Chains A and B, each alone.
Chain A
Amino acid sequence: MPLLALLLSGLKEEIRMKKESKTANKNAGDINTVPFKTRARPYLIVTPALFITIGILIPFAMAIYFSLTSYSFRLPTYSFIGLKNWITIVKSSEFWHAVWVTLKYAFFTTVVEMALGLGIAILLNNNNNRFTKILKVVLVFPLMIAPVIATIVWQLMLNNSVGIVEKLLNVVGVYNFPWAASPSTALLTAVMIDVWVNTAFVILLALAGLQSLPKSPFESAKIDGGSALFTFRNLTLPMLKPSLYIALLFRLMAALQEYAIIFALTKGGPGNTLMNLSLTAYQTGFQFQKFGAALPYILVLWLFINTVAKQIVKRQRAAQKQALGKD
């Protein structure tokens, strides 16, 4: 496991240094080594966190192992079948459909949440009155409703016979909008619920970023006569990058593996319209009891998530350093 290896290599280096210093000590009455207490500190401090998380990492290794087997809850034994599971899924249309659904869902939710979140944050930042003051506190509330529960509530609201939204739509002449029941609108419904719950996260981060911007660059831009759009593109946006990247990171990664909302909404339906990689894995693993076969779905997802995340994080750290440097 990479983490374990890192820690071990760090410790090995420590032991080596100690040995070296011991021999040097004998020779030169060494007074220049940093005391062990101070040198060890970083490792000691990180260890509790690592310890906790290392324990969780073992499953990752197991998952990789099991994906290469025919492990199943039903069967008493399992055999090592190598890459058979992997080859199967690459050939299956189910897999590629799941990939497509995952990407679609992630794309729409992330784009809407980022744009809407940033937009609302800007509006809130520009207008300071009693209304916005209250709104700033209250807009965080949707985030606190567990997505599962939020889905249930929304389902009730959208219900074709008795839902409140239905009743309101009736007023404008729209009847029986299928929402989650039809393949053409199921994605829309799921995205809408996701947006409802999670936009607040983006707003929080964007607003925090906006409110911490230094005033002087903007003042000089005003003197230089920059238009609002110019200021936004060249001043605001770059300085907001650290916050926006974090928001993007968390939302995109969560959307790629979204399970709860879709599960609560339609369990993946109608049919297989909303079967993304997470849900397909669950179905294969628990419903069809084909543990080993389910894991490649998730591992592919994880690989993709990790790669994309690394890229975003790299950019975020760079943007953060830049923002700090400017001050």
Chain B
Amino acid sequence: MNKSKGRLSAILQNGLLVIYAIFALFPLVWMVILTFKADSQMFTTTFIFTPTLDNYNEVLFKSDYVKYFIDSIIVAGGAVIVSILAGVPAAYALARYDFKKKEDIAFQILSFKFAPEILVVLPLFMIYQKLGIYDTYFGLIWVYQLISMPLLIWVVRGYFEDISVEIEHAAQVDGYSWWQIFFKMLLPLIKPGLVAAALLAFIFAWNSFTFPLMLSGTSVQPITVAATKYLASDSVHYGQMAVAATVSALPAVIFALCIQKHLVRGLSFGAVKG
């Protein structure tokens, strides 16, 4: 009796998951299908058509897409690297040391993520012009810190807090210097959180739209901004647009697949110690 009840519930649950899976994945699948559809067949067919690589050809080889793609990689990747280099030590300080206004500083850093981008962008526009960093990699990487660093610091801080401070003491007594402790003992233990947060930071940076829209012009154009170009023209090449969209998702997808193992583990807050 119980077993069939259990099985029924399992079927039901998996059924719900299937529904959600369809909702979540169908647009992606369809998008990929679109990449292979020629413009001529775009509106006349649905699933049955003659696949073509023309769209890929057009976008990847005959347009500036690759340049935009590389711009995105430089800016988003650079932003994440800077966030890690500055953020991990900050997370450590916030976890270990008890200095005045600690929680206030921590909240300030977190609040950068919610600062309405429009608010920051208007004045920054003027400042960047004055400083000459408008439309530069440096300028974008710097402003991206607002969205990539906060979550990273918060996740990594949680991880540092989970590491008993006695482990650092034991390592000190064993004869290790503070730097060695940091690299040999602490970093391996925060790896899941660091890697998962880095992925999210990368996604936030990669997807950012307002900042590059306002703070860069022609020399640095991440693909989010460039994609809108594909809409602006009179005749929209949906197939090409689909290619642009699909390819733009690739870096994050690859990153995610690589760190799959750590992804879910890494984002637990208040977790039991391993």
Contacts and interface: CB of A to CB of B under 8 A. Distances in A.
Is A–B contact present in the complex under a CB 8 A cutoff? Answer: yes
B180 interface: no
A246 B269 contact: yes
Interface in A148-197: 148-150, 152-154, 156-157, 161-162, 164, 167, 196
A23 interface: no
Interface stretch (A42-50, A78-86, A90-98): A42-50
B253 A46 contact: no
A211 B268 contact: yes
A8 B108 CA distance: 15
Contacts of B81: none
A214 B263 CA distance: 19
B53 interface: no
A288 interface: no
A136 interface: yes
A196 B27 contact: yes
B167 interface: no
B78 interface: no
A10 interface: yes
B113 interface: yes
Given A143-B203, A242-B269, A43 B99 contact: yes
Contacts of B265: 208, 211-212
B119 interface: yes
Nearest to A239: B270
B86 A52 contact: yes
B245 A46 contact: no
Interface of A (DSSP majority class): helix
Given A152-B231, A242-B270, A301-B116, A53 B127 contact: no
A319 B158 CA distance: 12
A144 B122 contact: no
B185 interface: no
Nearest to A214: B272
B39 to A, nearest CB: 12
Interface in B227-248: 227-228, 231, 238, 241-242, 244-245, 248
Contacts of B8: none
Interface residues of B, number: 101
B238 A156 contact: yes
Contact of A161 (B43, B110, B113, B227): B43
Nearest to A257: B116
A21 interface: no
Nearest to B208: A146
Contact of A295 (B99, B119, B270): B119
A264 B119 CA distance: 19
B92 A45 contact: yes
Contact of B85 (A43, A48, A161, A310): A48
A138 interface: yes
Interface of B (DSSP majority class): helix
Interface string B187-202: 0000000001000100
Interface string B79-94: 0001001110110111
Given A60-B119, A302-B115, A212 B272 contact: yes
A264 B228 contact: yes
A313 interface: yes
A144 to B, nearest CB: 4
B14 A149 contact: no
B109 A49 contact: yes
Given A52-B145, A149-B245, A208 B266 contact: yes
B221 interface: no
A212 B123 contact: no
B271 A139 contact: no
B100 interface: yes
A320 interface: yes
13 contacts: A6-B100, A46-B90, A132-B17, A137-B256, A138-B21, A140-B256, A149-B248, A162-B43, A208-B266, A212-B265, A285-B122, A302-B119, A309-B110
Given A162-B43, A204-B264, 12 more contacts: A46-B105, A52-B149, A59-B122, A138-B24, A140-B263, A144-B207, A154-B27, A250-B113, A253-B113, A282-B118, A309-B111, A323-B269
Interface of B: 10, 13-14, 16-18, 20-21, 23-25, 27-28, 30-31, 34, 42-43, 46, 82, 85-87, 89-90, 92-94, 96-97, 99-101, 103-105, 107-120, 122-124, 126-127, 142-143, 145-146, 149, 151, 153-154, 158, 161-162, 196, 200, 203, 206-207, 209-210, 223-224, 227-228, 231, 238, 241-242, 244-245, 248-249, 252-253, 256-257, 260, 263-273
